[in-house]
Amino acid sequence: MEMPATSMAFIRTAVPVLILGVVMAIKGIALFRGNYRPMLWASFLNMLRMYLFFVAFIYGSIANVVLILFTWPIFVTILSAIFLKEIVSRKTWSLLAVAFTGIIIVFSNQELNFSNKDFIGMAAALGTAAVYAMTVVIFKKASSMARSDFPLRRPLY
């Protein structure tokens, strides 16, 4: 596509926001309730993730980008252990090492060149995976802190 990544990311995020805003207004649901700051931060990160996602596919080869995008569970496990103090078993660490080793093996026969556009795409894909992992950790933290005493004006159904 000839459309810039910023335009694609804007359309991809603006249309759902407008639709959801109309639905929330019709149903009378308050936009800001409870501990909304982490959700605003996660929304900002999601916008950044979407931009990096489109940059990755514009500049990178599809096979490389898709492979790197699916490294996000590795990042989630590491970030959850660091920030949420989740206990990760030795078996899980071993499996993460095997997964990471597999990625290294797949990319080992490719020439790494910092000047071509494919590197930009691969770096953007890695950024997408890392940012997505951050949002997952934020959602995990927020859901563990969630309380049921945030009443809505009307039920969602």
Show me where the domains of the chain are located. Answer: 5-145
Report whether 146 contacts 38 (CB < 8 A).
Answer: no
Question: How many alpha carbons fall within 13 Å on the CB side of residue 143?
Answer: 7
What tens digit of pLDDT does each residue of 117-149 get? 888 999 999 999 999 999 999 988 887 765 444
Q: Is the pLDDT assigned to residue 155 strictly greater than 70?
A: no
For position 68, what pLDDT does the model report?
Answer: 92
What tens digit of pLDDT does each residue of 11-34 get? 888 888 899 889 988 998 887 777
Residue with the two structure tokens 């500049």: 59
Report whether 60 contacts 125 (CB < 8 A).
Answer: yes
User: pTM of the entire structure?
Assistant: 0.75
What tens digit of pLDDT does each residue of 52-95 get? 999 999 888 888 899 999 999 999 999 999 998 999 999 999 99
Report whether 117 contacts 59 (CB < 8 A).
Answer: yes
